[in-house]
Amino acid sequence: MRHPDAPAPGEPLGAHYDQCFGCGGGQPHGLHLEARAGEGVSLTAEFTVQPAHQGAPGLAHGGVLASALDETLGSLNWLLRIIAVTGRLETDFLLPVPVGTTLYLEAEVTAVAGRKIYSTATGRIGGPDGPVAVRADALFVEVKVDHFVENGRPAEIQAAMSDPDQVRRTRAFEVNP
């Protein structure tokens, strides 16, 4: 169930950390993925494949596409107000995604069982109703913030925890720094 204090449908979720490869604005070659809350425990997101994201000439690298799906699926946890990490990500690549293409992503939580959160996502090209190019199913596992404090690099943890916007988000949405 969607947490009652989750962002309202249509609201942007914002970056959980400025240096995140998936959603952070501080990563020059990152995805800069922008997600918006949907109805229930769902969201939409999009990102445009840049030249730095290619694998084969002119095409998105499969790992970058998997990262976009992982970031999108992980953003669902904002709607649950749960801190969680990826436990499993199964990705299907159905169509090539050329550089310059915007990938339109949709994701939803399909089940929650104890600390496990199951979710699914699709990525479409040519528009939100275009053909499915990639899809993924994931299992996320709930963790405490100590997971990041104990395993992250102290300088980055301190920088994140010193950022007033991160402090607000950590308190308001209980997301990881």
All domains of the chain in start order, with CATH = 34-173 (3.10.129.10)
Residue 83: pLDDT above 70? yes
Residue 147 pLDDT: 57
- Averaged over 40-69, what is the pLDDT? 96
Residue 57 main-chain phi, psi, to 5 deg: -55, 120
**What is the residue whose two structure tokens read 């102290």?**
154
DSSP alpha helix (H) spans, the chain = 62-80, 146-151, 154-162, 164-173
Residue 167 pLDDT: 45
pLDDT tens per residue, range 63-75:
999 999 999 999 9
pLDDT tens per residue, range 95-114:
999 999 999 999 999 999 99
- Averaged over 76-102, what is the pLDDT? 95
Nearest to 95, CA basis, from 126, 137, 129: 126
| Mean pLDDT, rounded, of the chain | 87
Specify the pTM: 0.84
